[in-house]
A and B are shown apart, each in its own frame.
Chain A
Amino acid sequence: MADKETVIGSDTRISGEVRGEEDLVVRGRIDGKIQLTQTLTVEKGATVQADLDVGHLVVLGAVVGTIVASESVKLMSTARVVGDLASPRLTMEAGAAYRGRVDMGDIAAARAAASSRAVQRPAVSEKPAIRPAPPRMATLAKAIVATKASAPVAPAAARSTVTPSASVPAPASPPAFPRVAGAMGAMTPAWAKKKIRRR
Chain B
Amino acid sequence: MANTVIGSSIVIDGEITAEESLTILGTVKGKISVAQNLAVEAGATVEADVEAQTVTVNGRLTGNVVARERLELKPEAKMVGDAKSPRIVIADGAGFKGNVDMDV
Contacts and interface: CB of A to CB of B under 8 A. Distances in A.
Interface string B9-31: 11111111111101101100010
Interface residues of A, number: 25
Contact of A7 (B4, B12, B26, B41): B4
A4 B10 contact: no
Contact of B15 (A9, A10, A16, A24): A16
B2 A18 contact: no
A14 B41 contact: no
A24 B42 CA distance: 20
A1 B43 CA distance: 9
Helix, strand, loop or mixed for chain A's interface? strand
B3 A9 contact: yes
A6 B6 contact: yes
Given A9-B2, A10-B2, A16-B30, A3 B7 contact: yes
Nearest to B26: A20
Contacts of B15: 14-16
Given A13-B16, A19-B10, A1 B4 contact: no
Nearest to B9: A21
18 contacts: A1-B8, A1-B25, A3-B9, A4-B25, A6-B26, A7-B5, A12-B4, A12-B16, A12-B20, A13-B16, A13-B18, A14-B15, A15-B15, A18-B14, A19-B13, A20-B7, A21-B9, A22-B10
Interface of A: 1, 3-22, 24, 27-28, 32
